Amino acid sequence: MKIKIKGTGSAVPKLRVTNDDLSKLMDTSDEWIRSRTGIGARHLAVEETTTGLAVAAAKEALKDAEMTAEELDLIIAATVTADKFLPNLSCEVQSALGAKNAVAFDLNAACSGFLFALNTVQMYLENGVYKKALVIGAETLSKIMDWNDRSACVLFGDGAGAAVVEVDSETNCKAKQPGAANKSGILSMVQGSDGARGEVLRCDNRPVNNPFAVNDTKLSYVSMNGQEVYKFAVKTVPKVIEEAVKKAGLEVEDIDLFVLHQANLRIIESVAKRLHQPMEKFPTNLEECGNISAASVPILLDNINKHGMICEGKKIVLAGFGAGLTWGATVLVW
């Protein structure tokens, strides 16, 4: 029994903010941002919410999968920027969709969130607990940015991506490599965490504040040690990809597309070099979207799906990495 992605969807806010737009607000420039990150623009929420973006992406994914919301058994939303502490984002989406038969809960693994949520869904479905699920990555990161800190705020954007996943017992995959014959859907998943290095990318929650512990601490914003995050990513991502590919019974050369978290073009280029693979296998959208944390991978997956870059039999790696520190990779055949 294999688990397959049946449909994808995505949504970004209407407002597109270029590097030149940001240069009017802070001491930065298009050249400064592009040369360091590859980012040229990002979409920022004005009237949109995390919930609204998640619902829009979910509706697209359901339409693409030719499935109704009532058919869903499970909804998992990955986010660090839900609109509310209570109720959670996934329950808000469940209500908006009318997915009355679905169990719904959130998951926080930062930029690896979609991969962790996908793996969780995989376990539920492969063990026969549920049959059809919706996986969402959604963020409005602009609300936790310090817009006076040009080293961090220029990197991030807002948006949501979603995928409909279901049990598929068919074995019609066209993969011919040893160990992968007659398989389709998700072939392998590898995850990892290193909390000891977590402080290099952080944002504090509300402090303790009660009649016995009064606290007037100001709101916390995202802070990042860019060099340490970069070193972590370029060393860890190639290793986890190689591990996942080997676990799937494939070679790195067999992979058609590597859909990576869109954090920094330099990181993606370094991963490609370390894997000895051409950049043509590494689609990107950070030029227009920036880093959208848990939403990054599913938005890019939807982009390449909608543009006809993937078809039945294509072998794909999805990989996420970020705060926690966390990382994950999955190998699938479309």
Catalytic residue among 111, 153, 203, 289: 111
d(CA 198, CA 183): 37
Ramachandran class of 173: left when φ > 0, alpha when ψ lies in -120 to 50, beta otherwise: beta
Q: Has 111 been annotated as catalytic? A: yes
d(CA 293, CA 297): 8
Phi/psi at 163 (5° precision): -140, 135
d(CA 156, CA 264): 10
Single-letter amino acid, residue 59: K
CA 55 to chain centre: 16
Q: Has 307 been annotated as catalytic? A: no
Q: What is the DSSP letter of 4?
A: E
Q: Has 108 been annotated as catalytic? A: no
d(CA 34, CA 323): 23
The DSSP code sequence of 65-81 is HT--GGG-SEEEEE-S-
Phi/psi at 315 (5° precision): -100, 125
Tokens encoding 234 = 């370029």
Catalytic residue among 88, 108, 119, 291: 291
* ∠ Cα 48 50 52 (to 5°): 60
Number of C-alpha atoms within 13 angstroms, CB side, residue 19?
Answer: 19
Catalytic residue among 261, 264, 303, 305: 261
Phi/psi at 200 (5° precision): -75, -15
CB neighbour list of residue 268: distance below 8 Å, 6 or more residues apart: 38, 260, 262, 279, 282, 284
CB 142 within 8 A of CB 219: no
Which residues are known catalytic residues? 111, 261, 291
